[in-house]
């Protein structure tokens, strides 16, 4: 398989991967025999590159390689920044987890099949792409903290990257959608994305059973209240449980088809559902891993000051180090005023400004 520019199509080329319109409808199916006359039509649809079968295993075109390098670099940056932003851990542990996660994601994206799917998601929806990256980063973090074997961690990372691949087939615009208030027809189509995704990967030999389970079951819940099959705890593997937990968290924080929640509120929800909808031990591990007030977030103290979180304090997740910005009257601080909340015991955070 190799990727070529649309202008390079010659009669008889065999399409190696489905082509989608911008609305997610399959335009041409894998295996279609291409003709030169398709070139102008594909260009009109803003499709500039495609994958074709290649018996000689020719390497990708330089232009395609550059695009893939860009995606790899961006994915790496997103994974690193997400883990560094949310992780609540000791300095050495954080550095090691970031290094391992970065190497793992880079290794995963060296596989053409995965790169192709990630690139397709990126082209269709930047929001979906960012959500997939966030879920992959946090899921990898939790899997590493759970001390799972490297092979399992890798499968969790791949499953998280591909968990919403079914949205490539959903025709509804989900950008401003609230699944709680939309009409029943829309809700059913959106919820069907897990089946669409599973159908897409079901017969792919390069996709493991664990990854397929993550794609199909990441909206199932321990108490059977999830979808599409209302499976209960004993039928859901740990890999699925990790991704479903991280998917719920990121969806709440970024308002992915639901009202946005502050990070602390999202964490409190997960804790309230520990042992009910989500695995208790994994929620506990999540709470020990993810900071309630991530680095870079603006917070309000009980004295009315505005401040920015600059560092975490290991073993004190709600008492980070902050830099004061403005006092209670809105007057900016003249110099650099830092407060370590483990030392200023009468100072604490009462709210955050996240949007």
Q: Report residue 194 as tokens.
A: 């897990």
- Give yes or no for a contact between 172 and 119, defined as CB atoms under 8 angstroms apart: no
Read off the pLDDT of each residue in 258-285 and give the average, rounded to a whole number: 95
pLDDT of residue 58: 47
Q: Report residue 2 as tokens.
A: 């190799």
Query: Is residue 217 a part of any domain in this protein?
Result: yes
Question: Does 104 share its domain with 247?
Answer: yes
- Residue 265 CA: distances (Å) to CA of 113, 230, 293: 37, 26, 11
Return contacts of 179-182, CB within 8 angstroms, 24+ apart.
Answer: 179/257, 179/258, 180/258, 180/259
Residue 69 binned pLDDT confidence (cut-offs 50, 70, 90): low
Q: Residue 38: which CATH number? A: 3.90.105.10
Query: Is residue 334 a part of any domain in this protein?
Result: yes
Q: Residue 216: which CATH number? A: 1.10.3210.10
Query: Is residue 275 a part of any domain in this protein?
Result: yes
pLDDT of residue 158: 95
If one counts every other C-beta atom within 10 angstroms of the C-beta of residue 21, the result is: 13
Q: Which domain holds residue 334?
A: 298-353
**Domain count across the chain:** 3
pLDDT of residue 302: 96
Query: Is residue 146 a part of any domain in this protein?
Result: yes
Query: Is residue 107 a part of any domain in this protein?
Result: yes
Q: Please work out, in degrees rounded to the nearest 5, the angle formed at the alpha carbon of residue 138 by the alpha carbons of 100 and 177.
A: 145
Question: Does 37 share its domain with 182?
Answer: no
Query: Is residue 57 a part of any domain in this protein?
Result: no
Query: Is residue 331 a part of any domain in this protein?
Result: yes
pTM higher than the cut 0.95: no
Percentage of the chain exceeding pLDDT 90: 52
Residue 84, C-beta contacts closer than 8 angstroms, at least 6 positions apart: 94, 98, 295
Question: Does 267 share its domain with 210?
Answer: yes
Question: Does 156 share its domain with 21?
Answer: no
């Amino acid at each position: 398989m190799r990727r070529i520019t649309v202008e390079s199509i010659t009669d008889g080329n065999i399409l190696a991967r489905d082509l989608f319109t911008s609305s997610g409808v399959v335009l041409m199916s894998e295996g279609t025999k291409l003709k030169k006359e398709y070139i102008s039509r594909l260009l009109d649809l803003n499709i500039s590159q495609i994958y074709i079968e290649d018996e000689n295993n020719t390497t990708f075109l330089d232009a395609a390689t550059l695009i893939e390098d860009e995606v790899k670099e961006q994915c790496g940056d997103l994974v690193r920044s997400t883990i560094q932003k949310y992780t609540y851990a000791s300095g050495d542990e954080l550095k090691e987890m970031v290094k391992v996660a970065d190497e793992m994601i880079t290794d995963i994206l060296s596989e053409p099949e995965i790169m192709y799917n990630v690139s397709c998601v990126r082209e269709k929806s930047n929001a979906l792409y960012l959500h997939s990256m966030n879920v992959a980063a946090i899921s990898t973090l939790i899997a590493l903290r759970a001390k799972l074997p490297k092979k399992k961690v890798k499968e969790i990372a791949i499953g998280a990257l591909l968990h919403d691949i079914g949205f490539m087939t959903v025709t509804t615009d989900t950008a401003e959608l609230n699944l709680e208030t939309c009409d029943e027809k829309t809700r059913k189509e959106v919820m069907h994305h897990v089946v669409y995704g599973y159908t897409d990967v079901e017969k792919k030999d390069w996709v493991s059973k664990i990854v397929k389970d993550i794609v199909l079951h990441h909206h199932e819940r321990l108490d059977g209240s999830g979808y599409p099959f209302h499976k209960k705890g004993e039928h859901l593997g740990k890999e699925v449980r990790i991704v479903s937990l991280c998917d719920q968290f990121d969806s709440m924080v970024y308002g992915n088809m639901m009202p946005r929640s502050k990070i602390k509120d999202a964490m409190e929800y997960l804790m309230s559902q520990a042992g009910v909808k989500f695995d208790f031990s994994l929620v506990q591990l999540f709470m020990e891993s993810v900071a309630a007030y991530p680095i870079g977030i603006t917070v309000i103290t009980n004295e009315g000051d505005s401040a920015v979180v600059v560092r975490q304090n290991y073993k004190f997740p709600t008492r980070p180090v902050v830099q004061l910005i403005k006092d209670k009257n809105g007057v900016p601080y003249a110099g650099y005023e830092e407060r370590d909340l483990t030392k200023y015991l009468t100072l604490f955070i009462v709210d955050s400004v996240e949007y």
